Amino acid sequence: MRIMILVLSLMVGMSLGNVPFETAQPVIACDVINHDGKQLLFTVEGANDTVYSPHLKMHLKTGSVIKIYQIDAVDNFIEDTSVVDRARINQLDLTCIYQNEMRSAHPWLITVGQSDDDAHIEVFVGAFRATKYFSAETRPYFLEYRNGVIVRRWTGSRLNCVAFSDAEYVDYDGDGRDELKVVEHDFRNGKPYCQVGYYRLYGFIPQRLIFNR
């Protein structure tokens, strides 16, 4: 249910009406979700900087704004929201229904899902910033889209590990609710290691349900 946008290319000739989706703002990451009979596209977009994660030893291209679009053409709905590609999105008729400036958080990843009993949409954003006690690294932002706005649920310095390189809402255990799958990175005895953890918010606190590696 998530599409990481890692390259900017291939979009020549693809357009949204007369305005190519890509040209208005560079799209860094996006995800699509079915919601209340509609389809919504969540994006991280806008020009910002490229940051370097000392723990992941990789560069991350960041955006400046979170936007939500309604996909208008009913007969154009995305059938499988897990495999939507960038070219497909550029062919859709989109109406921007919300945007939220997040430049200072340096967002580089977004994934959306439904992990509890209410109708609000869970939104997880990969941010990158320093905190009071830690130097700049990837930061988990658990947000929620409710009543037409994005609100903060839980933002913290880290989950189980120092950094994460990917995240995606998926229904891991098949119970109809999405868990947040996070690819996390840490050091053990001085050596880097990676694990995949599955999280869900209980109240306002993320709890790891299981990790499988």
Report the run of H or E that residue 87 belongs to, with start and end: helix 86-90
| Nearby residues of 131 by Cβ (< 8 Å), 6 or more positions away | 139, 157
Q: Closest distance between Ca ion and the C-beta of residue 175, in Å?
A: 4
Q: Closest distance between Ca ion and the C-beta of residue 129, in Å?
A: 30
Note the residues at the interface with Ca ion (CB under 5 A): 171, 173, 175, 177
Nearer to Ca ion, 72 or 173 (CB): 173
Q: Closest distance between Ca ion and the C-beta of residue 131, in Å?
A: 30
Query: Edge-to-edge strand order for the sheet containing 163-170?
Result: 163-170, 179-188, 191-202, 205-211
Nearer to Ca ion, 108 or 199 (CB): 199
Q: Closest distance between Ca ion and the C-beta of residue 115, in Å?
A: 7
State the sign of the Cα–Cα–Cα–Cα dihedral 60, 61, 64, 65: negative
Nearest to 42 by CA among 80, 99, 86, 93: 99
Nearer to Ca ion, 80 or 175 (CB): 175
Nearer to Ca ion, 116 or 186 (CB): 116
Q: Closest distance between Ca ion and the C-beta of residue 122, in Å?
A: 12
Strands (E), the chain: 3-4, 27-35, 38-45, 50-53, 58-61, 65-71, 94-101, 109-113, 121-129, 137-146, 149-155, 163-170, 179-188, 191-202, 205-211
Nearer to Ca ion, 166 or 171 (CB): 171
Q: Closest distance between Ca ion and the C-beta of residue 112, in Å?
A: 15
- For residue 192 the two structure tokens come to 């880097």
Nearer to Ca ion, 81 or 138 (CB): 81
